[in-house]
Amino acid sequence: MAANTRQPIDIDSAASQCQKVLGYIEKYRADAKEIDRERAVEAAAVLVRLLEQPADAIYKLFLSPTILMAVKTASDLGIFSRLCDGDAFVTCKELATPKGADVQLIERIMRALVCSGFAAERGPGQYMPTRRSKAMTARTVIGLMDSLFVDFLPIIHKTPEFLRETDYRNPEDPTHGPLQYTHKTTSTTWDWLSKRPAALDRFNSFMEGNRAGRSHWAEWFPVQERLLDGAVVNKSPLLVDIAGGRGHDLIKFKQRFPGPHGDLVLEELPAVIDDISNLDEDLRRVKHDFFQPQPIKGARVYYMKHVMHDWSDGNCRIILGHVVDAMERGYSKLLIEEHILPDQHAKELETLRDLIVMVWCPGNERTRQRWTELLESVGLEIQNFWLPDGFGTGIVEAVLKDDRRA
């Protein structure tokens, strides 16, 4: 197929782009700034696109689900754990033995893993781990893989059909989106999850590891200056983590700021709270649906991580309205940890996440302008956008409008 559609390569542009890649790498070598590493990755991707034949790229794109299949199968076979167990190479026969798998099947799976960077070859039929194969042994990464492969992928497959049948309207109804179309239900995503313990467990593990190696927000946000200074101990809770999953963010916040600054409260749906087997006794658990009135009044901080992107603007106004009603003027703050998209030149990962929340919730990621419009519509004023690397995930800090003292 590709041989009949070859196009000339712009060698000069490719050479120029190669110099950009090397320049960012040298900057990252000198300063170890994350933004330079990200820019090097982006520039390298552009270089590949300049060198690759379009027909080859398209062919590989639509064959790429087979890589997902190979990685998932390898995980189920325990291949990544076996690769990382010890310093010696591992043979196909050794990888096949624990599950009694066919050696020829293992050979085929391993070829796919090597091509995609999830294993390395030492010699014919001899394999060593890579950084990617080591990452695939982490519980949260396995949860991410299982959730996306088992629960998200069938929905992604049906989304073009859903959009065609809905005249290509932007999905906004939480009871009628791609997930509901795929599974023939009118339940919201979260009700659908709550009735499926295995899917809920996969999703919670996915969320627990969703920072993808990024630092906790309390490590770069000026917590002392913006939150602790001015907080009154025992007046009300210091921080309410709304829809905080299993409490992983609260735990890390407490580790970072262990002093007696006030109560830390985890709010979640009953099914999630009941699913938590181990949580610090000092962290209060409150069963709460954020579409209902906020039960904790006058907290210093109301914090939400990756909540707003799950919902349309109309639903977000309901959620935020309950928080606004609970906030104390001159004291309370709202912190929203989310992706903050640029108006143009959005990066690949944040763009893919936008499409993922569209098919799953349905929701969307927002630009600075859209964040400003949304929060102002419910009586909030943004004090700052905090972006540790200048892009991607950050904190939107807001107070009640005309609230100058917070």
Mind listing the pLDDT tens digit for each residue in 136-145? 999 889 999 9
Could you tell me the pLDDT band of residue 211, with boundaries at 50, 70 and 90?
Answer: low
Tokens 């181990």, located at residue:
278
The answer, yes or no, to whether residue 257 has pLDDT greater than 50, is yes
With beta carbons less than 8 A apart as the criterion, state whether 324 and 339 touch. Answer: no
With beta carbons less than 8 A apart as the criterion, state whether 311 and 367 touch. Answer: no
Using one digit for the tens of pLDDT, what is the confidence trace for 295-353?
Answer: 999 999 999 999 999 999 999 999 999 999 999 999 999 999 999 998 888 888 888 99
Q: Global pTM?
A: 0.81
| CA pair distance 322, 334, nearest whole angstrom | 12
Q: What is the average per-residue pLDDT within 73-79? A: 98
Which pLDDT does position 4 carry in this prediction? 56
Could you tell me the pLDDT band of residue 183, with boundaries at 50, 70 and 90?
Answer: very high
The answer, yes or no, to whether residue 205 has pLDDT greater than 90, is no
| CA pair distance 382, 399, nearest whole angstrom | 7
Percentage of the residues of the chain whose pLDDT score is greater than 90: 78
The answer, yes or no, to whether residue 362 has pLDDT greater than 70, is yes
The answer, yes or no, to whether residue 212 has pLDDT greater than 70, is no
The answer, yes or no, to whether residue 126 has pLDDT greater than 90, is yes
The answer, yes or no, to whether residue 1 has pLDDT greater than 50, is no
Average pLDDT, the chain: 92
| CA pair distance 280, 264, nearest whole angstrom | 10
| CA pair distance 275, 271, nearest whole angstrom | 6
Q: Give me the catalytic one of 309, 322, 339, 345.
A: 309
Which pLDDT does position 228 carry in this prediction? 95
Of the candidate ranges 253-267, 273-287, 360-374, 378-392, the one whose mean pLDDT is the lowest: 273-287
With beta carbons less than 8 A apart as the criterion, state whether 221 and 395 touch. Answer: yes
CATH entry 1.20.210.10 includes domain 65-135: no
Residue among 139, 399, 392 at smallest CA distance from 248: 139
**Phi-psi domain of 121 (left: phi exceeds 0; alpha: psi -120 through 50; beta: other):** beta
Angle, alpha carbons 124-127-131 (nearest 5°): 140
| Distances from the Cα of 190 to the Cα of 148, 163, 193, 334, angstroms | 16, 21, 5, 23
The answer, yes or no, to whether residue 392 has pLDDT greater than 90, is no
132 burial via Cβ count (<10 Å: 0-12, 13-18, 19+): middle
Which pLDDT does position 2 carry in this prediction? 45
Could you tell me the pLDDT band of residue 18, with boundaries at 50, 70 and 90?
Answer: very high
The answer, yes or no, to whether residue 194 has pLDDT greater than 90, is no
Percentage of the residues of the chain whose pLDDT score is greater than 70: 96
176 is catalytic: no
The answer, yes or no, to whether residue 391 has pLDDT greater than 80, is no
Q: CATH fold of 217-400, please?
A: Rossmann fold (3.40.50)
With beta carbons less than 8 A apart as the criterion, state whether 402 and 224 touch. Answer: no
